[in-house]
């Protein structure tokens, strides 16, 4: 959630600085992710006046300007803008300033032989607009020499991370309310508006899906004039990360960002008949405002007329009925939609929007009338027009939630003592209504929860509100009680086993992966041994099924790494797989899984082609991990039936007797490899730690930490003709030291003597690995490194083969 400081102060009367506001937001649980101060970006830019303008002696499209900066002698600046002329007041970037649009650092330079001391700037270069046809033209009375940031009025922007349980803070007003409760200024009340209509609403509005849309209000405004919104509104929307579109659309977005109340405006001329909130017909389609077509089902709520669907309710409007420059009459829609229905529809369609983010969290059901009034006032102010009477269909859930609360609960659960009077003040400042005696610690209060706080369910939630506003920093740090003497071990046998196995796998050169416990349903089904656990309310379709095996997640991780150029992968993961036991009981099994993909050994002069992993490599890893876990490996039997996910002729299981399966290993079945889109042979295995008998003794392994480089390595091959008596190791060492900053490895992969190689010489081929650190290599960089390699090799008499 982004908003500008001036927007916040529209609702909060305060003299606090941006730093004080950010500190208080963090203190009350609204994490500030960043502060953008335009004044910093505009440092070094000054209001300046062009005194003279003459054509550049060597360029027809350039002019040589003398510019008054308000300090000292005028500066000479070369400019190519068509509107540059004597008398123009604009913005000059002085040497040392950084252009916000492209990061260019300005400096004194010569352009076509003429000295230039800076740059006259356009709005796009300063990220103040899209105009790039000419330089900025300021009013003639603009103060020459003034900092442009000061003149323009730089407005800092705060970016706050809003947790899913705080829908009230999805609007600037809600954030202002929290700050006021915490003592940062005074909250300004929302203006009470009553905008009566001058004529009956000509559009019938009704609800056929009362479950998905309990309330639907609307009104018509005739005679509006759409166009660009004013600069103040555009600035606020841009600060919030929104792209200004038109006055009508910007007005609805402004009300949504200001009060957390989404709304929608339809072009009345594009509607046909009554406007209805109903269920979509199975297979019905709509083209949304993002220009994509969505296929709907009967579980989704839509807004439609006689012609068809115009709006995926609570998520995104349709392209057909959107407002444009020619729009003259509009229908305003403001409704209350069921949060669960909105969330399910959004996941099914894989469609996100600002409206969905607010509706699925829960909006204030009591702000329908007021929200419509404020939106009507804003549209009439921006676009004019005459409003109709309001049409109301249904009613939003209006029964207030009342929580029984005892003030002593704050100290009991929160660990801090807050006087009952202060608790009451905090709750009332947050919008709660409190009935109860202020002086009594143990008297039960009746706390009425405001409509904008659907996350409040009981006493512990009230405690959280009191404690965070009172100050989380005031909660004392209290150490846990500890028995006298030497501390006893806290790790369970299972935890100790996990640590040993994890260290053993890392010590054998494998890299640990941590994947999600949830999978796409097709990926989970590929490794299922029975019915899956499928979530009824998943975060997304890609995280719908609980994993029956760790292998699907590892295979997807292997594909991502192979696609990005990884030559060899040795991945393992230690975690739990989730099986659906008898009578629907969840069964969690501790498992180690591993995937070996890519090259087992790279190409070399002695081995020839690169070799791939095979089933025996997976078996070796499994036996090592089983031994570390204490399994009697000398008693294990190798048997078949590894599962349909494995290649039937290149897989097996390790068992203690015919029934106790401790592990399975082998090559991935080609059909499964195709399903996961993994190229090349892949060896994989699973070790079922829960089936291993208790191990006697324990081994010790050193920790292995691995931090991958930020950029992908680059390899280059070189073939040199060298004297036959030259040891290949000498050539490798010389090339290795040719550029220590970039060359991280050199390996000999071919030693050839024969046809094409002169008598008394041999051909040595080297693979040189280059590792970029801060940025990727360009062609010139690689050419320079190659020259260093060949120059260093030449010292030993080596010549690059043609």
Binding residues for Mg(2+): 455, 461, 464-465
Binding positions:
455, 461, 464-465
Question: For residue 83, how far is the Cα from the chain centroid?
Answer: 42
Q: Six-digit token pair at 292? A: 């994509």
Q: Minimal CA–CA distance to 18: which of 184, 131, 168?
A: 184
Q: Six-digit token pair at 686? A: 């699973």
The DSSP secondary structure of 331-398, one letter per residue, reads EEEEEE--HHHHHHHHHHHT---HHHHHHTT---GGGHHHHHHHHHHHHHHHH--EE---EEEE----
Q: Within a 13 Å sphere around the CA of 199, how many CA atoms are in the beta-carbon half?
A: 8
- Work out whether strand 275-279 and strand 205-207 pair parallel, antiparallel, or are unpaired: parallel
Whether 186 contacts 16, CB under 8 Å: no
Contacts of residue 14, defined as CB under 8 A and 6 or more positions apart, other chains included, come to 21, 179, 184, 185, 186
Q: Six-digit token pair at 627? A: 């031994």
Q: What is the CA radius of gyration of the chain?
A: 35
Q: Within a 13 Å sphere around the CA of 74, how many CA atoms are in the beta-carbon half?
A: 13
Q: Is 148 helix (H, G, I), strand (E, B) or coil?
A: helix
Whether 222 contacts 377, CB under 8 Å: no
Element (DSSP H or E) covering residue 699: none
Whether 224 contacts 386, CB under 8 Å: no
Give the span between the Cα atoms of 261 and 334, in whole angstroms: 8
The DSSP secondary structure of 202-234, one letter per residue, reads SS-EEES-TTT-SEEEEEEEES----PPPHHHH
Give the span between the Cα atoms of 393 and 177, in whole angstroms: 31
Per-residue three-class SS string for 308-324? EEEEECCCEEECCCCCC
Q: Is 105 helix (H, G, I), strand (E, B) or coil?
A: strand
Whether 734 contacts 682, CB under 8 Å: no
Give the span between the Cα atoms of 737 and 795, in whole angstroms: 12
Question: For residue 377, how far is the Cα from the chain centroid?
Answer: 35
Whether 658 contacts 636, CB under 8 Å: no
Give the span between the Cα atoms of 338 and 696, in whole angstroms: 58
Whether 427 contacts 418, CB under 8 Å: no
Beta bridge partners of 470: none
Cβ-in-10-Å burial (0-12, 13-18, 19+) of 377 comes to middle
DSSP 298: T
Please give the sequence-ordered ranges of beta strands (E in DSSP) within 602-757, or none if there are none.
611-612, 637-639, 646-656, 660-668, 682-688, 714-723, 743-752
- Percent helix, percent strand, percent coil in the chain, to nearest 5: 30, 30, 45
Element (DSSP H or E) covering residue 445: strand 445-449
Q: Minimal CA–CA distance to 303: which of 350, 254, 248, 263?
A: 263
Q: Minimal CA–CA distance to 318: which of 355, 350, 278, 291?
A: 291
Helix (H) and strand (E) counts in the chain: 20, 41
DSSP 761: E
Element (DSSP H or E) covering residue 601: strand 586-601
């Amino acid at each position: 959630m982004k908003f500008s400081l001036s927007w916040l102060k529209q609702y909060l009367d305060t003299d606090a600085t941006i730093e004080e506001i950010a500190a208080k937001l963090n203190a009350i649980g609204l994490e500030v992710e960043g502060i953008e101060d335009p004044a910093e970006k505009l440092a070094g830019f000054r209001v300046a006046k062009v005194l003279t303008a003459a054509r550049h002696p060597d360029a027809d499209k350039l002019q040589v300007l003398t510019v008054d900066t308000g300090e000292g002698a005028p500066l000479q600046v070369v400019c190519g803008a068509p509107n540059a002329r004597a008398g123009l007041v604009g913005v000059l970037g002085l040497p040392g300033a950084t252009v916000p649009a492209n990061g260019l650092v300005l400096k004194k330079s010569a352009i076509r032989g003429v000295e230039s001391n800076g740059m006259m700037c356009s709005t796009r270069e300063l990220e103040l607009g899209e105009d790039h046809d000419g330089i900025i033209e300021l009013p003639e009375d603009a103060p020459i020499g003034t900092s442009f940031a000061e003149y323009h009025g730089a407005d800092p922007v705060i970016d706050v991370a809003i947790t899913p349980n705080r829908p009230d803070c999805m609007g600037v007003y809600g954030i202002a309310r929290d700050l006021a409760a915490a003592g940062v200024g005074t909250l300004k009340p929302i203006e009470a508006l009553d905008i009566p209509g001058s004529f009956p609403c000509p559009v019938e509005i009704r609800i056929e899906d009362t479950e998905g849309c309990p309330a639907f209000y609307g009104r018509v405004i005739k005679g509006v004039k759409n166009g660009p919104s004013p600069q103040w509104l555009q600035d606020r929307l841009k600060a919030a990360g929104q792209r200004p579109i038109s006055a009508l659309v910007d007005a609805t977005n402004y009300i949504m960002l200001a009060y957390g109340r989404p709304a929608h405006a339809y072009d009345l001329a594009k509607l046909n008949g009554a406007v209805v909130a109903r269920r979509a017909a199975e297979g019905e389609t709509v083209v949304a405002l993002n220009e994509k077509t969505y296929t709907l089902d009967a579980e989704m709520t839509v807004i439609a007329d006689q012609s068809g669907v115009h709006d995926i309710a609570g998520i995104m409007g349709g392209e057909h009925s959107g407002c444009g420059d020619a729009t003259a009459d509009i229908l305003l829609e403001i409704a209350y939609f069921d949060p669960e229905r909105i969330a399910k529809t959004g996941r099914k369609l894989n469609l996100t929007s600002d409206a969905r983010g607010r509706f699925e969290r829960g909006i204030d059901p009591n702000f329908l009338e007021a929200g419509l009034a404020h939106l009507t006032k804003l549209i009439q102010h921006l676009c004019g027009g005459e409003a109709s009477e309001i049409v109301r269909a249904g009613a939003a859930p209006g029964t207030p939630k009342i929580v029984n609360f005892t003030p002593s609960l704050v100290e009991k659960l929160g660990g801090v003592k807050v006087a009952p009077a202060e608790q009451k003040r905090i709750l009332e400042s947050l919008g709660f209504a409190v009935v109860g005696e202020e002086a009594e610690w143990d008297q039960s209060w009746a706390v009425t929860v405001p409509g904008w706080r659907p996350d409040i369910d009981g006493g512990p939630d009230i405690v959280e509100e009191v404690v965070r506003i009172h100050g989380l920093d005031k909660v004392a740090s209290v150490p846990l009680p500890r028995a006298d003497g030497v501390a006893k071990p806290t790790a369970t046998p299972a935890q100790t086993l996990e640590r040993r196995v994890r260290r053993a796998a890392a010590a054998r050169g494998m890299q640990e992966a941590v994947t999600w416990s949830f999978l796409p349903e097709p990926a989970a089904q590929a490794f299922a041994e029975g019915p899956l656990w499928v979530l009824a309310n998943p975060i997304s379709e890609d995280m719908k099924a609980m994993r029956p095996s760790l292998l699907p997640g590892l295979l997807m991780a292997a594909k991502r790494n192979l696609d990005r150029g990884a030559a060899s992968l040795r991945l393992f993961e230690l975690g739990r797989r989730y099986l659906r036991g008898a009578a629907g009981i969840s069964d969690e099994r501790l498992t180690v899984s591993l995937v070996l993909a890519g090259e087992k050994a790279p190409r070399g002069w002695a081995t020839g082609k690169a070799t791939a992993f095979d089933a025996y490599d997976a078996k070796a890893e499994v036996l090592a991990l089983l031994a570390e876990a204490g399994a009697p490996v000398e008693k294990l039997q190798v048997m078949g039936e590894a599962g349909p996910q494995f290649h039937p002729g290149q897989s097996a299981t390790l068992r203690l007797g015919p029934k106790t399966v401790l592990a399975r290993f082998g090559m991935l079945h080609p059909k499964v490899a195709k399903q996961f889109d993994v190229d090349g042979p892949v060896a994989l295995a699973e070790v079922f730690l829960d089936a291993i008998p208790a191990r006697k003794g324990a081994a010790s392994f050193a920790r292995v930490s691995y931090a991958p480089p930020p950029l992908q390595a680059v390899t280059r091959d070189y073939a040199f003709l060298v004297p036959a008596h030259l040891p290949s190791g000498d050539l490798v060492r010389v090339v290795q030291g040719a550029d220590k900053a970039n060359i991280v490895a050199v390996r000999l992969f071919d030693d050839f003597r024969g046809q094409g190689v002169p008598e008394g010489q041999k051909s040595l081929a080297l693979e040189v690995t280059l590792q970029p650190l801060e940025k990727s290599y360009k062609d010139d960089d690689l050419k320079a490194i190659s020259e260093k390699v060949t120059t260093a090799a030449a010292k030993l008499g080596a010549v690059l083969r043609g």
